[in-house]
Amino acid sequence: MQGVGFRPFVYRVAQISGIHGYVLNSSGGVVIEAEGAGPAINEFLRALRQQLPPLASIAQMTVSEMKPRGEQNFVIRESVPNAGQFALVPPDVATCADCLREIATPGDRRSGYPFTNCTNCGPRYTIIRDLPYDRPKTTMEPFRMCARCQAEYQDPANRRFHAEPNACPDCGPSLALVSAEQLASGSLPAFRSGRESSAILAWVRRLLRDGEIVAIKGLGGFHLACDAANDRAANLLRERKRRSGKAFAVMAKDLATVERLCETTGADRALLESVRRPIVLMRRRPDAAIAANVAPGTATLGVMLPYTPLHHLLFDESPGYNALVMTSGNMSEEPIVSRNEQAWPRLKNLADRFLLHNREIQTRVDDSVVQVFEGQVYPVRRSRGFAPEPIDLGMQLSEILACGGELKNTLCLTKDHYAILSQHIGDLENLETMEFFRETLDHLQRFFRVSPVAAAYDLHPNYMSTRFALEESGLRPIGVQHHHAHIASCMADNGLRGRVIGVALDGTGYGTDGRIWGGEFLTCGFAGFERRGHLQYVPLAGGDCAIRQPWRSAVAYLRSAFGSEALSLPLPLFEKIPRRQIALLDRMLTRNIQTVETSSCGRLFDAVSSILGLRHETTYEGQAAIELEMAASEASPSNLKSYPFAFRASNPFQINMAPAIEAIVRDSIARVTITEISARFHRTVAQVVMDSCLRIRETNGLNRVCLSGGTFQNLRLLGHTVEGLRGCNFEVFVHHRVPPNDGGLSLGQAMIANEVLMS
Cβ–Cβ under 8 Å, residues 333 and 433? yes
C-alpha 721/C-alpha 374 separation (Å) is: 13
Q: Which amino acid is at 394?
A: G
Which helix (H) or strand (E) segment holds residue 541: the answer is: strand 538-541
What x/- string results for residues 425 through 464 when contact with Zn ion is judged by CB under 5 A? ----------------------------------------
Residue 120 engages Zn ion in binding (rule: CB under 5 A): yes
Give least dist CB 120 to Zn ion, A: 5
Q: CA dist 122 to 25, 65, 99, 165, 171, Å?
A: 18, 36, 10, 8, 16
Binding to Zn ion (CB under 5 A): which residues in 556-575? none
Choices 20-28, 121-129, 181-189, 586-594 (CB under 5 A): range interacting with Zn ion: 121-129
Choices 115-123, 130-138, 240-248, 484-492 (CB under 5 A): range interacting with Zn ion: 115-123
Give least dist CB 189 to Zn ion, A: 22
Among 121, 343, 492, 677, binds Zn ion (CB under 5 A): 121
Give least dist CB 280 to Zn ion, A: 22
Q: How many CA atoms lie within 13 A of 543 on its CB side?
A: 2
Among 1, 14, 34, 96, binds Zn ion (CB under 5 A): 96
For Zn ion, give the closer residue by CB, 99 or 356. Answer: 99
Choices 88-96, 463-471, 487-495, 649-657 (CB under 5 A): range interacting with Zn ion: 88-96
Sign of CA pseudo-dihedral 325, 330, 336, 340: negative
Give least dist CB 181 to Zn ion, A: 34
Q: Which amino acid is at 119?
A: T
Give least dist CB 552 to Zn ion, A: 53
What x/- string results for residues 25 through 44 when contact with Zn ion is judged by CB under 5 A? --------------------
Longest dimension (CA), the chain: 93
Binding to Zn ion (CB under 5 A): which residues in 127-146? 146
Helices (H), 448-578: 464-467, 482-493, 545-548, 550-562, 573-576
Give least dist CB 218 to Zn ion, A: 17
Cβ–Cβ under 8 Å, residues 284 and 299? yes
Provide the angle, in degrees to the nearest 10, between the axes of the packed helices 6-17 and 38-50. 150
Cβ–Cβ under 8 Å, residues 303 and 279? yes
Choices 83-91, 118-126, 428-436, 687-695 (CB under 5 A): range interacting with Zn ion: 118-126
Choices 113-121, 419-427, 539-547, 638-646 (CB under 5 A): range interacting with Zn ion: 113-121
Choices 30-38, 94-102, 218-226, 545-553 (CB under 5 A): range interacting with Zn ion: 94-102
What x/- string results for residues 148 through 177 when contact with Zn ion is judged by CB under 5 A? -x------------------x-xx------
For Zn ion, give the closer residue by CB, 93 or 401. Answer: 93
For Zn ion, give the closer residue by CB, 127 or 168. Answer: 168
Total residues binding Zn ion (CB under 5 A):
10
C-alpha 667/C-alpha 27 separation (Å) is: 64
Cβ–Cβ under 8 Å, residues 42 and 127? no
Cβ–Cβ under 8 Å, residues 744 and 738? yes
Give least dist CB 3 to Zn ion, A: 12
Choices 110-118, 173-181, 259-267, 580-588 (CB under 5 A): range interacting with Zn ion: 110-118
DSSP of 568-630:
GS--THHHHS-HHHHHHHHHHHHHTSSEEEE--HHHHHHHHHHHTTS-SS-SSTTHHHHHHHH
For Zn ion, give the closer residue by CB, 101 or 591. Answer: 101
Give least dist CB 171 to Zn ion, A: 3
Among 93, 118, 304, 558, binds Zn ion (CB under 5 A): 118
For Zn ion, give the closer residue by CB, 118 or 608. Answer: 118
For Zn ion, give the closer residue by CB, 98 or 341. Answer: 98
Cβ–Cβ under 8 Å, residues 139 and 359? yes
Among 13, 56, 89, 99, binds Zn ion (CB under 5 A): 99
For Zn ion, give the closer residue by CB, 171 or 255. Answer: 171
SS (H, E, C) 256-292: HHHHHHEECCHHHHHHHHCCCCCEEEEEECCCCCCCC
Give least dist CB 178 to Zn ion, A: 25
Find, among 431, 429, 445, 238, the residue nearest to 325 by Cα.
238
Q: CA dist 36 to 42, 542, 585, Å?
A: 10, 75, 82
Close Cβ partners of 572 (under 8 Å, ≥ 6 residues apart) = 612, 613
Cβ–Cβ under 8 Å, residues 451 and 475? no
For Zn ion, give the closer residue by CB, 168 or 214. Answer: 168
Choices 48-56, 91-99, 503-511, 611-619 (CB under 5 A): range interacting with Zn ion: 91-99
For Zn ion, give the closer residue by CB, 149 or 501. Answer: 149
How long a stretch of residues is the chain? 759
Q: CA dist 710 to 379, 381, 427, Å?
A: 11, 11, 15
For Zn ion, give the closer residue by CB, 29 or 385. Answer: 385
Binding to Zn ion (CB under 5 A): which residues in 269-308? none
Find, among 550, 532, 547, the residue nearest to 651 by Cα.
532
Give least dist CB 273 to Zn ion, A: 15
Cβ–Cβ under 8 Å, residues 672 and 704? no
Give least dist CB 100 to Zn ion, A: 8
Give least dist CB 158 to Zn ion, A: 12
Cα–chain center distance at 235: 26
Give least dist CB 8 to Zn ion, A: 13
Helices (H), 429-505: 431-447, 464-467, 482-493
Choices 49-57, 99-107, 283-291, 498-506 (CB under 5 A): range interacting with Zn ion: 99-107
For Zn ion, give the closer residue by CB, 134 or 629. Answer: 134
What x/- string results for residues 43 through 82 when contact with Zn ion is judged by CB under 5 A? ----------------------------------------
For Zn ion, give the closer residue by CB, 120 or 197. Answer: 120
For Zn ion, give the closer residue by CB, 136 or 578. Answer: 136
C-alpha 130/C-alpha 569 separation (Å) is: 64
Give least dist CB 194 to Zn ion, A: 8
Q: CA dist 360 to 220, 221, 328, 446, 693, Å?
A: 10, 10, 17, 19, 51
Give least dist CB 308 to Zn ion, A: 11
For Zn ion, give the closer residue by CB, 149 or 626. Answer: 149
Give least dist CB 357 to Zn ion, A: 16
C-alpha 264/C-alpha 305 separation (Å) is: 14
For Zn ion, give the closer residue by CB, 127 or 229. Answer: 127
For Zn ion, give the closer residue by CB, 18 or 136. Answer: 136
Cβ–Cβ under 8 Å, residues 294 and 303? no
Which residues are paired to 540 by β-bridges?
596
Q: CA dist 282 to 295, 299, 369, 429, 495, Å?
A: 12, 8, 11, 30, 28
For Zn ion, give the closer residue by CB, 145 or 734. Answer: 145
Give least dist CB 149 to Zn ion, A: 3
Q: Which residues bind Zn ion (CB under 5 A)?
A: 96, 99, 118, 120-121, 146, 149, 168, 170-171
